[in-house]
Amino acid sequence: MSKSWSLITVMSCAMLFACESRFPVEKRFWTPDDYEEVWNELNYNTPKGEEYPRFSNPETAEVVRKIVDPRNYEAILEDSELGLNYRSEVSQEFFEHIKYIMDLYGGMDVQDKFIYAEELAEMRTFFLGFQIVYFRLGNENIASQSDDRNTIRRNEQTIIGNFNSYLEGLRRERAYGPYAANLGEGMTTHFTKLIETFPNANYKGMLSTAKAMQGKVETPEIEKALSGLIGKLESIQSKDADPV
């Protein structure tokens, strides 16, 4: 019995070491370079027939947890001691490399289900939070250099358009299986933060999209999140309609 347990321990340690050697999980925070390294490893060095890291695999779960850890980008982008222009440039690098990894995890099987449904749901929720910081920094950087309100407004509508695309993507909730609920949980947090961060943006299109999706989703958590979002957006529209 002791020999068997020793063998299992050795094998587990070997698997963990292999994971750590392929991916920088030992680092406290990941930089854009780390995300790029992870994408390269996944895209070019994943053996045929081997899965990408998954939450359900104890040997690789830490890799996924690191991918969706907001502290990675917050460590740099929310550091006020760093230059605003520098942080804005770094945020662009984060954006590109995170998006590339999400694309890798977006594959579907013959039943039109996402192969990595749990991981993809978490990544898309994570990406919502990242975009708020990304666009906020971009606008702050523009405002620090000029009075270009037109570009700032366009950026605000761009992120709202991206969030609208997330809402429209809820049509594919069945492709996530039991992990569709995670999409609703992410909405409750990040759509509220979006409105708080960009209070003067135009949310009429988002309200229309949310209402259109309300009767088409089946997941209770998504239905609840949509109802909450519609309530917030209708409150905004009501205030805008009040006479000054």
Q: End-to-end distance of the chain based on CA atoms, in angstroms? A: 79
CA dihedral 160→38→29→92, nearest 10 degrees, is -40
The pLDDT assigned to 25 comes to 96
13-22, 55-64, 113-122, 232-241: segment of lowest average pLDDT: 13-22
Flag whether pLDDT at 4 surpasses 90.
no
Give the pLDDT of residue 241: 62
pTM of the shown model:
0.89
What pLDDT score does 243 carry?
A: 52
Per-domain boundaries in the chain: 1-104, 110-244
133: tokens are: 């910081």
pLDDT in tens, 135-155: 999 999 999 999 899 999 999
176 secondary structure, DSSP code = G
How many residues are recorded in the chain? 244
pLDDT tens across 75-105, in order? Answer: 999 999 999 999 999 999 999 999 999 999 9
pLDDT band at 61 (very low <50, low <70, confident <90, very high): very high
